[in-house]
Amino acid sequence: MRHLVEKGLVFGGLILVDSPVLVERYRRALKHLTGKESKLEDFHVDISGFSPEIGDELGDMHYLNHPGFNRQFILLTTDQKNAPLLHSAFSTSRSVLRRFIEANETELFALTARDAVAGELVNSAFAADAPARLFDIRKVTVEADTTQGTVAAADRLAGLIERFKTEPDAWWDDKLIAEMIEMAGVTGDLTRNPVRLRAMSFEQDDFWTSHFGGVYLFRSVPQPAAIVAGDKHDLGPLPVPEVLDLQDRTGIARFLAVNELAEPVVTGRSSETVALLRQKMDFIAADVVGTEGTLPQEVTRRDLRVLARRHAGQLPPEWDGLAALLAWAEEGARWPRITSDHPAYFYTLKARRTPAAELVNMLLAELAPRDVRQVFLCHKELFYRLYRTWPEAKQAFVAEILSSEYRMDEAGTRETIFGPEDAMQEPASLAEGPWGQVTPSGADERDIMDLVGPWGVLRRR
């Protein structure tokens, strides 16, 4: 992982903890949550408070997430909301933590000024001992307090204050008054610094989990399904109408189509279209040449295209499919029919702007693993797993390209690949409107390229 670390592509964006006060608070919270202790004087943390340095010290990279369920967290500062989440077992965990921090930012700012906030993401199911148990997960509730129990003490004090104000003889109740004074010593002045955190729960209809080899669960769409990375038969019966695995390409294409979850990355001829297709082809060429061990230590885009021509007979059908599409976009050649049984099919798709867009792009990245940039952007766990298997030259090339073309302009790169990502509006009913621009294998086709681009339209029967 050396090249990724040097380019800031792994462990980048983490929060440095080097203040003795914050270090001591973290140690206290770590002991409070896990019973473990750290002697490090400085380290980095992600959005959940996980530290790779402390994980290395303890010999346990899952010390805040042992069973892969009900992830624990430690907050030292609200700045953690912008940090990544490492070793994620559920695709929704980071967004839940971020939304919790943003919704309680004022309260958390006040609390973390005095102590660390520790807590847990509590699933509505408490274990993943069988695949069917994943379907018991309906929501995640965030439970949090300081290591000194400030929030619980504040709730207790609020109740005592209410008794003091409403009970006729409370003025003469020395025990009640003494308890209020004791609680106020922990919470401070509640009238000036409220410390009550909002009880927050988040619906979990659609998510990915690393359990059981990787499972994508879509329940909010008109035709729900589970898509698994391994053999679907190994999971046994699941309480969902359709179970697919990654080898069922036509089934996945049809699932995306009928639920209107994906659309083509290319809808017309333009310089942006040409650049995007060339970039995808370059990554595929680098994948092939790099896997063979013939990729130079330093290589430019131009060098890659020379290598692609030199290895033309070895390039995979994914490259050929995109090359045919490039010829249509750049030279006016006849447009290709790329159906779901073509290896290039999922390289030509991106998520539509729906609440499940992030999950769909994650799925598409796993279906198009040679496009390492999309894998890096959409499925970090898969990217790091693949990266460890690559030759040194390919690792160096990928790290350099990602650093120069993504890190330099993250927003611009994402907009080029996925389109604008401004505030998402609630979508219209998923049943409304025609499905355009992709053609699952076996679906009806009609040539209306001028209206919808090179894929045609899927007509529902």
pLDDT score recorded for residue 383: 92
Q: Please say whether the beta carbons of 194 and 183 come within 8 A.
A: no
Residue 427: is its pLDDT beyond 70? no
Residue 47: is its pLDDT beyond 60? yes
Residue 424: is its pLDDT beyond 60? no
pLDDT grade for 99, boundaries at 50, 70 and 90:
very high
Average pLDDT over residues 33-57: 94
Q: How far is CA 293 from CA 214, 262, 393, 395, in A?
A: 30, 35, 7, 11
Point out the least confidently predicted range of 103-107, 200-204, 380-384, 443-447.
Answer: 443-447
Containing 54, the helix (H) or strand (E) segment is helix 52-58
pLDDT tens track for 70-94: 889 999 999 999 999 998 899 999 9
Alpha helix segments (H runs only) across 209-316: 249-258, 271-291, 301-310
Point out the least confidently predicted range of 185-194, 204-213, 396-405.
Answer: 185-194
pLDDT grade for 364, boundaries at 50, 70 and 90:
very high
pLDDT score recorded for residue 145: 83
Average pLDDT over residues 380-393: 88
Q: Please say whether the beta carbons of 319 and 284 come within 8 A.
A: yes
Q: Please say whether the beta carbons of 209 and 90 come within 8 A.
A: yes
pLDDT score recorded for residue 430: 30
Average pLDDT over residues 394-414: 69
Q: Look at 398 and 429; give whichever has higher pLDDT.
A: 398
Q: Which two tokens stand for residue 356?
A: 């499940």
Average pLDDT over residues 36-58: 95
Percent of the chain, pLDDT > 70?
Answer: 75
pLDDT grade for 11, boundaries at 50, 70 and 90:
confident
Q: Look at 192 and 47; give whichever has higher pLDDT.
A: 47
Residue 434: is its pLDDT beyond 60? no
Average pLDDT over residues 361-379: 93
pLDDT score recorded for residue 337: 86
Q: Look at 86 and 418; give whichever has higher pLDDT.
A: 86
pLDDT score recorded for residue 73: 96
- For 300-369, give the DSSP string: -HHHHHHHHHHTGGG--HHHHHHHHHHHHHHH-PPPP---TTSTTGGGGEEE-SSTTHHHHHHHHHHH-T
Residue 452: is its pLDDT beyond 70? no
AA identity, residue 68: G
pLDDT score recorded for residue 437: 36
- For 75-108, give the DSSP string: ES-GGGGGS--SS-SBTTHHHHHHHHHHHTHHHH
Average pLDDT, the chain: 80
Residue 121: is its pLDDT beyond 80? yes
Tell me how far apart the alpha carbons of residues 299 and 330 are, in angstroms, rounded to a whole number.
25
Point out the least confidently predicted range of 213-227, 268-282, 382-396, 432-446.
Answer: 432-446
pLDDT score recorded for residue 189: 52
Q: Please say whether the beta carbons of 86 and 50 come within 8 A.
A: yes
AA identity, residue 40: L
pLDDT grade for 151, boundaries at 50, 70 and 90:
low
Strand, helix or coil for residue 229: coil
Tell me how far apart the alpha carbons of residues 367 and 344 are, in angstroms, rounded to a whole number.
10
pLDDT score recorded for residue 183: 65
**Cβ neighbours of residue 192 under 8 Å, at least 6 residues apart?**
none
Average pLDDT over residues 132-160: 77
Residue 258: is its pLDDT beyond 90? yes
pLDDT score recorded for residue 444: 39
Residue 334: is its pLDDT beyond 70? yes
Return the HEC string of 109-147: HHHHCCCCEEEEEEECCCCCCCHHHHHHCCEEEEEEEEC
Q: How far is CA 112 from CA 27, 144, 337, in A?
A: 14, 12, 57
pLDDT grade for 115, boundaries at 50, 70 and 90:
confident
pLDDT grade for 291, boundaries at 50, 70 and 90:
low
CB atoms within 10 A of CB 323: 19
DSSP classification of residue 202: E
Q: Look at 216 and 403; give whichever has higher pLDDT.
A: 216
Tell which residue, 83, 72, 98, has the closest CA to residue 17: 83
**Cβ neighbours of residue 282 under 8 Å, at least 6 residues apart?**
301, 304, 305, 308
pLDDT score recorded for residue 304: 73
